[in-house]
Structure 1
Amino acid sequence: MASDNAHDLDSDTEGGQAGGVQSVDRALTVLEILARDGDAGVSSIAVEMGIHKSTASRLLASLVTRELVQQDSERGKYRLGFGILRLASSIPGRLSLVREARPVLEGLAERFKETVNLAVLRSSYAVNLDQAMGPSTLATYDWVGSLTPLHATSSGKVLLAALEPEDRARLLDETGLPARTPRTITNRDQLERELVSVARSGHAMVKEEFEIGLNAVAVPIVSHLDIVIGAISVSGPAFRFDPEAMPEVVDGLQEAGLRISTRMGHTTT
């Protein structure tokens, strides 16, 4: 046991790059333990990490100095400190949804050979911020900057489904449900039933509701505050693209939505 402790102390205090990397790695592990458990004592942290209690104490003391960790004066246990909030709060403002989503959009377009769009809610429309084109010569329309109706598009339905009922009702009172094609849903109760399904399944589909001959499917993008901040969709000609009969597209799109959400700071529990 003595030799193990000596080795642990030597490893913790050794000079050079290896020792520095090890210290950083251990400090991050402490933060992960506290994030997972809420709080923890020195002994339990040391046991889980397989290090000497004195080493764990030094790590915690260093983190306390930086206000990344704080100690409960009554229980003696440690928990994450306000320094973590300061660091985390600086991230969302520096993240660009378009920048973070771009490689994911390109990957989807290459994989499914169709057009992929990134949209957000602006006023009473779904606004397309970015687009990745599939290799098909038929996928040539540039949707970037286009304002599309919420009730007739897959991205729009995802954004509508995420709104509070009173906000959604107020928005739909303003816009109405104008028919874009004979397939557009123009009945409010029918749309509400579909939006419940969208919220439950995590994706929305449209089949020639916005434009005859065009089908699409979309999923939400969620922020670090667990709020839907956008939608990503795959669309294609109805004669070859039927998302209802292509579960691999829905699965791939949901994985992509989760990947972008993670890039935007969202964490799953």
Structure 2
Amino acid sequence: MSNAEAEAAPPGGATGTVQSVDRALHILGQLARSGEAGVTELAADLDVHKSTAFRLVATLEAHGLVEQTGDRGKYRLGVGLLRLAGATTARLDVVQEARPLARKLAADTGETVNITVLADRAALYLDQVAGSSALQSHNWVGQRIPLHATANGKVLLSGLEEHALDELLDQLEAYTDATITGQERLRRELAQVREQGYAVAADELEIGLTAVAAPIRNAHGDVIASMSVSGPTFRLAGDKLDAATDALVHVALEVSHRLGWGHR
């Protein structure tokens, strides 16, 4: 077996996993059960050399997933896990609070309602509810879309500080002739999104597709997600777009209230 093959083979001969990742997760599980453990104990539990266990623990420590206790050489779970858990909990809270309202919004507008969050350099679909007029059955949950070319993305960008925007707006790819590719123009549009409380993208990601999105805020007023109504441009225009926008802004505000933002 080659070194690469040995690295990919987890204990017990199972396939489809990476050994170092499998071992690191095993360490986290062991610390969760025991509360704390030393490198020697972890090495014995993994049946590996002490130096191997130390490298794994050092990597986990560098990411804040484990930390040393007052007892030298002992390790316990780190606060980095709390941050990861907190992010997951926040996303679950958004979906839980928004879904019944998203269903009603989809029923009222007849169009598709989506909920997204910022994920690296993209907007990640958390949830989707199709309206009665929606023809496509494709489920976008778990997929990512560009930030600058979508209504959801513009809303998520509008909630960022300037230094964060600088990192995300370095490359603005054109998807259609309507896509905004100039940084200054996009920044002006984001300022408008903040002022009016919603964003619109017509034919910017795909010709024939229009969406309007509004922010979902947490108890501190931070934009933590975006909710949108999307449909064919020929149908989601004029008075219908105005009506969908009004309904969407109201629903997104209600979700934000349920998450603790503002006063009822």
Scaled by the length of structure 1, what TM-score is found? 0.62
Aligned to 2:135: 138
C-alpha distance in 1 between matches for 2:207 and 2:133 = 19
Structure 1 unaligned residues grouped into runs of 5+: 1-91
Shift of 1:204: 0.2
After superposing the two structures, state which structure 1 stretch, 135-144 or 115-124, moved more.
135-144
Residue in structure 2 matching 1:150, options 129, 147, 151: 147
Check conservation: 1:178, 1:186, Cα contact below 8 A: yes
Local SS of the residue matching 2:148? helix
- Pick closer, same or farther for the CA change 1:251–1:119 going to 2, 3 Å: same
C-alpha distance in 2 between matches for 1:161 and 1:217 = 14
- Pick closer, same or farther for the CA change 1:104–1:96 going to 2, 3 Å: same
**Pair 1:234 & 2:229 matched:** yes
C-alpha distance in 2 between matches for 1:233 and 1:94 = 16
Shift of 1:233: 0.1
C-alpha distance in 1 between matches for 2:91 and 2:183 = 39
Local SS of the residue matching 1:163? coil
Q: Deviations over 1:82-109 (max 9, x none)?
A: xxxxxxxxxx869611111100110110
Structure 2 unaligned residues grouped into runs of 5+: 1-88
Local SS of the residue matching 1:151? coil
- Pick closer, same or farther for the CA change 1:137–1:248 going to 2, 3 Å: closer
Shift of 1:248: 1.6
- Pick closer, same or farther for the CA change 1:93–1:204 going to 2, 3 Å: closer
Aligned pairs for 1:237-248 within 5 A: 237-242=232-237, 246-248=241-243
Which has more radius of gyration? Answer: 1
Residue in structure 1 matching 2:191, options 192, 196, 211: 196
After superposing the two structures, state which structure 1 stretch, 128-137 or 242-251, moved more.
242-251
- Pick closer, same or farther for the CA change 1:171–1:248 going to 2, 3 Å: same
Local SS of the residue matching 1:96? helix
Aligned to 1:108: 105
CA-atom RMSD in angstroms: 2.0
Q: Deviations over 1:6-36 (max 9, x none)?
A: xxxxxxxxxxxxxxxxxxxxxxxxxxxxxxx
C-alpha distance in 1 between matches for 2:95 and 2:130 = 15
C-alpha distance in 1 between matches for 2:90 and 2:183 = 36
Local SS of the residue matching 1:141? coil
Local SS of the residue matching 1:232? strand
Aligned pairs for 1:32-181 within 5 A: 96-173=93-170, 176-181=171-176
C-alpha distance in 1 between matches for 2:91 and 2:127 = 18
C-alpha distance in 1 between matches for 2:186 and 2:251 = 26
After superposing the two structures, state which structure 1 stretch, 109-118 or 161-170, moved more.
161-170
Aligned to 1:259: 254
Shift of 1:139: 3.8
Aligned to 2:5: none
Aligned to 2:182: 187
Shift of 1:166: 1.1
Corresponding residue pairs, total: 177
- Pick closer, same or farther for the CA change 1:137–1:131 going to 2, 3 Å: closer
C-alpha distance in 1 between matches for 2:238 and 2:158 = 19
Aligned to 2:200: 205
Scaled by the length of structure 2, what TM-score is found? 0.63
